[in-house]
Structure 1
Amino acid sequence: MELWTEFAAKSSGKEFVAGGFGGVAAVIAGHPLDTLRVEQQHSRLGPSAFRILRQLVAREGPRGLFKGMAAPLASITFQNAIVFQSYATLSRKFDKDIKPTDPPSFRGVIFGGFGAGAIQSLIVSPIELVKINLQLQRQTNDKSSLKGPADIVRIILNREGWRGIYRGFTITVLRDVPSHAFYFSTYEYIREKLHPGCRKNGQETFGTMLVAGGLAGVVSWMSCYPLDVIKTRIQSQSNSTPLMYRGIVDCFRRSVKNEGWNVLWRGLGTTLTRAFIVNGAVFTGYETALRLLFTNNF
C-alpha cells in the first residue's frame, strides 16, 4: 500500500500521462510493420516481408496493414502509461538516498525495468491475443467471419472461459520481464553517451531521444525474439479447433523440428526495423510530453 501511495502521490501522475502520449505515437508509427511481423512468424504467406506486403495489399488494399489496430490503439494509452509510471516509481525505489532531482542509478533502472515488464504482461497478454487473431484472419464475404475485437473475445470466452483470454500469459512474462530491463537500461545508457549530463538536466535533443529510443527497442527485441515467435504461435490458436500446441515446450519442439532453428528468428529484420521506428517515437513522445506538460523545459 505504501508503494501505491508513492506511485499516486509523489509523481503526480506525470509519467502516466506522458507514457500515454508515447504509446499512441508507437501504435501509429509501427502497426503496419507489426502486421508483417505477425504474418512472417505465423508463416501463412512465407517468410519474405516483401512478398507478404505485395499479397496483403493486392488482396485487401493498404487497409490490410492496419488490421487489428483498434485493440492496441484503444488500450495503448493505458498500457504504456502504466509501464512508464511503474518504471519511474520502481526504478527510484531501489535507491534509498536518491535526491528528487537526481536520475535513478543503473541498478535502479534495471530493477525498475524488471518490475515494469512484469506489470505490462498482465495488461498486454490479452491485448496481443486479440490483435494477433485479427491480424491473421482473412477478408471474406462470409457473414460468420470475425468483425472485430469483440468477436474474438466472445468466441474465446464461449470456448475456454476467462482462462482462454490469458492464453500465452506465461511466455509473455518470460518475454517482457528481462526485455524491459534491457529496454530501459539501454535507453538510459545511450542517451547519456550521446548527450552527457542529459539524464539529470533533461536537455537532450530530439535526435538523442530518437536514436536512444530506437536502439533501446532493437536491443530489447533481440533479447527476447525467439520467445515472441513461440508466443505468436501459441496465441494464434485461439480461433482454432483442435489446438495445435499443448504448451510452450511443445510449440518450441515442434516448430524447430518441422521448420528448423531459423524459425525462431523469422521476421527479425521486419521487427528490428519496426522497433527502431516505434521506440524512437515512444521515447520522443514521452520525453516531449513530460517537458511540455510538466516542466516547460523546451
Structure 2
Amino acid sequence: MSGKPRATSHLLAGASSGFASAIVLQPFDLMKTRLQQVDGRSTGMGFGRLLGIARGITDAHGWRGLWRGTNATLLRNVPGVAVYFYALQTIRTQMTKMPHFAAAPSVLQVSGTTVLPKLSREGDLIAGAVARVSLGVLLNPFTVIKARFESDLYNYKTMREAFTGIVRQQGIRGLLSGWTPSAMRDAPYAGIFLLFYEQIKDKFERVMITAHREPSPGLIHSVSAATAAGVASCITHPFDVVKTKMQIRPERYTSMTKTIFIVLKEKTFFNGLGLRMSRKVLSSAITWTVYEGTLLLLRERRR
C-alpha cells in the first residue's frame, strides 16, 4: 500500500499537535498578553517581572488562572492547526508539479524521517505564507476572544459571553480586530519558519547519515522546528505587539497605522518577545514533532 499520507492523516496529526501545544503552553500566551497590554515602555521581562505577573494571576484565580483562555485557544488551535497542515500539504503537493518550485536534485528526496513533499526554498516560503494567511481570517474571531480572555481588562466568564459582548460593542467588525497586523505577522512568520525548518531538517538528516548514525525523527523534527521558530519569531514580533493592542484596546488603537505610531513613540515593539519566542520555540517543537511523528506512525500502520 502507498506510503503517501491521506487527507485524514494530516487532519488527525494536525489536531493532535495543536491540542498538545495548546494545553502545555497556554501560560506563556497568557503572560505575553499581560505584558503587551501595558501602555508605555516596558521595564523588561526579567524573571522577577514574570514572577510578579504569575503571582498576581495565581493570587486572584489560583493556579488554574494560568490557563485562562485555554478553551478559546483549543477552539482556535485544534481545528485550526489541523486545517492549516492539511492546506499546507495540499498546496505543497500541487507546487511539486511546478518545475520552478520543485526541490533541486541535491535535496534528499527519499527520507526515513518525513513523508512530506519537498520544495525549493522559494516554494517553502510561498507555501507557508499562503496557507497561513488563507486560514487567518477564519480563525481571527477566536484569536480576538483568546486575547481578551488572557487580558485582565475583561471579565468574561464564557466563550458565548465574550462573543456576544464583542459583537454588541463593536459589531461583527470587532471579531476581525487586528486581522491586518496578524496577516502581516503570520505570512512572513509561516514562510520563514517553513523555509528554515525544511532546510535545517534536510541538513540535519544528511549529517547523521554521513556520520553513519541512524537518523532520529523526533530529534530532527524538534531541533529543526525550535530553531526555525526562534528565527521567525524575532523577525515578526513587532506585528504581534500591534495585533494584541488592537484586539484588546480597540477604543485606543483604532487602526494599524495609529497603533504603529503609538508603539514607535512608546518603544514597545518588542514587549513580550522573550515569552513569545519561548512559547513559539516550545510550541513548534511539540507541534511539528507530534505532527510528523503521527504521519510516520500512520504510514507504518498502513504498510
Match of 1:80 in 2: 81
Q: Map 1:4-19; keep pairs closer than 5 Å.
A: 11-19=6-14
Match of 2:20 in 1: 25
Given candidates 115, 118, 127, the residue that maps to 1:112 is 127
CA drift of 1:66 comes to 0.4
**Unpaired runs of at least 5, structure 1:** 1-8, 140-144
Match of 1:246 in 2: 254
Match of 1:3 in 2: none
Q: In structure 2, what is the Cα distance between the partners aligned to 1:206 and 1:227?
A: 31
Given candidates 230, 239, 248, the residue that maps to 1:227 is 239
Q: In structure 1, what is the Cα distance between the partners aligned to 2:15 and 2:215?
A: 21
Deviates more, 1:124-133 or 1:103-112: 103-112
**Per-residue Cα deviation, 1:1-32 (whole angstroms, up to 9, x for no partner):** xxxxxxxx994332222111111111022111
Instruction: Call closer, same or farther: CA 1:138–1:42 in 2, change over 3 Å.
Output: closer
Match of 2:295 in 1: 290
Q: In structure 2, what is the Cα distance between the partners aligned to 1:56 and 1:71?
A: 18
Match of 1:266 in 2: 271
Instruction: Call closer, same or farther: CA 1:147–1:209 in 2, change over 3 Å.
Output: same
Residue type at the aligned position of 1:212: S
The answer on 1:196 being equivalent to 2:211 is: no
The answer on 1:215 being equivalent to 2:227 is: yes
Match of 2:114 in 1: none
Given candidates 32, 37, 55, the residue that maps to 1:37 is 32
Match of 1:64 in 2: 65
Contact between 1:230 and 1:252, CA under 8 Å: does it hold in 2?
A: yes
CA drift of 1:54 comes to 2.2
Residue type at the aligned position of 1:90: I
Q: Map 1:174-193; keep pairs closer than 5 Å.
A: 174-193=184-203
Q: In structure 1, what is the Cα distance between the partners aligned to 2:80 and 2:290?
A: 15
- Quote the RMSD (CA, aligned, Å): 2.7
Deviates more, 1:173-182 or 1:158-167: 158-167
Residue type at the aligned position of 1:214: A
Report the secondary structure of 1:23's partner residue: helix
**Per-residue Cα deviation, 1:19-57 (whole angstroms, up to 9, x for no partner):** 111111110221111111111111279653222122222
CA drift of 1:77 comes to 1.7
Percent of residue pairs identical: 23
Q: In structure 2, what is the Cα distance between the partners aligned to 1:214 and 1:116?
A: 20
Contact between 2:241 and 2:270, CA under 8 Å: does it hold in 1?
A: yes
Match of 1:147 in 2: 157
The higher-RCO structure (CA 8 Å, 6+ apart) is 2
Q: In structure 1, what is the Cα distance between the partners aligned to 2:188 and 2:157?
A: 35
TM-score (norm 1): 0.84
CA drift of 1:124 comes to 2.8
CA drift of 1:279 comes to 0.8
The answer on 1:125 being equivalent to 2:126 is: no
Instruction: Call closer, same or farther: CA 1:12–1:271 in 2, change over 3 Å.
Output: closer
Instruction: Call closer, same or farther: CA 1:105–1:297 in 2, change over 3 Å.
Output: farther
Deviates more, 1:153-162 or 1:96-105: 96-105
TM-score (norm 2): 0.82
**Unpaired runs of at least 5, structure 2:** 104-108, 111-116, 209-213
Report the secondary structure of 1:266's partner residue: coil
